[in-house]
Amino acid sequence: MIPVTKSFLPEKQAYLDYLDRAWNKVWLTNRGELTLELEKRIKDTYAINNIIITNNGTIPLQIALKLLGNQGEIITTPFSYVATTSAIIWENCKPVFVDIHPEYLSIDESKIEAAITPKTTAILATHVFGNPCHIEKIEEIARKHNLAVIYDAAHCFGVTYKEASIFNYGDVSTCSFHATKIFHTGEGGAMFCNSEALYQKLFYSHNFGHNGPLDFHGLGINAKISELQSAMGLAVFDNLDYIFNERKKVVEYYLNNLNFEALSTMKIRENTKWNYSYFPVIFNSEDQLLKVQQQLNQSDIFPRRYFYPSLNTIEYVNGETMPISESIASRILCLPLYTGLTENELKLISNIINLC
């Protein structure tokens, strides 16, 4: 079976060596040495301003919205994983969708201002498939209208934009370290910010609001990662060069071998060092997508319809019509992309798609 993705697994012994440190100290969570080391390695490697590692990539969105959303209207993209929208609703805010750019696939910055009302408090945009939004324009709009900017950067581990980590942009950026993501801790995630004051708030919010054992700064929740997860993170982190290189080879194979007269892929924004996190192909029609999917399934190949449906159409969301997002969502398929995909497998996948 060829799935859309496979978690990268480090050598088991390398993972056990990290776990030994938790065993020896009998220390399993509450920001132990493995978590602190993982934070430091990510922070130093990518020159990140402030990082807090968390137990998944959804809670950081909720914490950011709790602190910056003020139960107002949040301008957001309809083309993302459901967590981007559900976090808004979960925090008693209202998602206000703005359609996407048909090639970059992220929120269309030229349509944001028309969606702003006196109730708007923040913009929550996704750098979808690791492809940056129009960061400068969004920043300019947010300043002009006094809005917070939160980036769902769940797909962005390793991405740089204009030579800086993509996590350094926006008031808060979040990432997911879920098993299906390019860098993972099994379950896990992180939040990033530039302001020291906001960092303090994010920090206490992720640990029940604690200010020492007997005092509280304010309201909080439990978003802490465990040492067992951080051990996996450290063992995966040691292999990042290999992971990025292997994925790059897969992406280059697709780019060189698929017939781009019958389909297209997303356009990467200028000044981006991308991370090869996903390989989406966009067909001319949903019928064509379904035909290709069926042919692939018959050969035991399982691409995924990321992202379908367009989030504005989910029943509990009930958003306005978003023609571009709905059209793209009905025609886009993410192809298998992981370390260890062989050239024969890639040939098989590409041949089936090109023959359809």
Ligand X SMILES: *Cc1c(COP(=O)(O)O)cnc(C)c1O
| Dihedral sign, Cα of residue 120, residue 91, residue 130, residue 234 | positive
Shortest separation between residue 127's beta carbon and ligand X, angstroms: 9
Instruction: Check residue 230 for interaction with ligand X (CB under 6 A).
Output: no
Looking at 25-33, 78-86, 197-205, 329-337, which segment touches ligand X (CB under 6 A)?
78-86
Instruction: Check residue 337 for interaction with ligand X (CB under 6 A).
Output: no
Return d(Cα 96, Cα 317) in angstroms, integer: 10
Q: Do residues 80 and 126 touch, judged by C-beta distance below 8 A?
A: yes
Shortest separation between residue 108's beta carbon and ligand X, angstroms: 17
Looking at 50-58, 107-115, 223-231, 328-336, which segment touches ligand X (CB under 6 A)?
50-58
CB count in 10 Å sphere of residue 14: 15
Shortest separation between residue 211's beta carbon and ligand X, angstroms: 27
Binding mask 153-192 toward ligand X (x if CB under 6 A, else -) reads -xx--------------------x-x----------x---
Instruction: Check residue 124 for interaction with ligand X (CB under 6 A).
Output: no
Shortest separation between residue 296's beta carbon and ligand X, angstroms: 22
Instruction: Check residue 39 for interaction with ligand X (CB under 6 A).
Output: no
Shortest separation between residue 306's beta carbon and ligand X, angstroms: 8
Number of residue whose CB is nearest ligand X: 57
Return d(Cα 105, Cα 120) in angstroms, integer: 23
Q: Which of 80, 229, 275, 277 binds ligand X (CB under 6 A)?
A: 80
Q: Which of 99, 109, 152, 171 binds ligand X (CB under 6 A)?
A: 152
Q: Which of 35, 50, 62, 84 binds ligand X (CB under 6 A)?
A: 84
Shortest separation between residue 300's beta carbon and ligand X, angstroms: 25
Nearer to ligand X, 80 or 173 (CB): 80
Return d(Cα 189, Cα 215) in angstroms, integer: 27
Instruction: Check residue 247 for interaction with ligand X (CB under 6 A).
Output: no
* Catalytically annotated residue among 66, 181, 201, 224: 181
Whether 181 sits among the annotated catalytic residues: the reply is: yes
Q: How many residues bind ligand X (CB under 6 A)?
A: 14
| Dihedral sign, Cα of residue 81, residue 251, residue 44, residue 23 | positive
Nearer to ligand X, 83 or 123 (CB): 83
Looking at 69-77, 152-160, 192-200, 255-263, which segment touches ligand X (CB under 6 A)?
152-160
Nearest to 66 by CA among 194, 170, 172, 181: 172
Instruction: Check residue 83 for interaction with ligand X (CB under 6 A).
Output: yes
Instruction: Check residue 64 for interaction with ligand X (CB under 6 A).
Output: no
Instruction: Check residue 125 for interaction with ligand X (CB under 6 A).
Output: no
Shortest separation between residue 352's beta carbon and ligand X, angstroms: 26
- Catalytic positions, written as ranges: 181
Q: Enumerate binding residues for ligand X (CB under 6 A).
A: 56-58, 80-81, 83-84, 126, 152, 154-155, 176, 178, 189
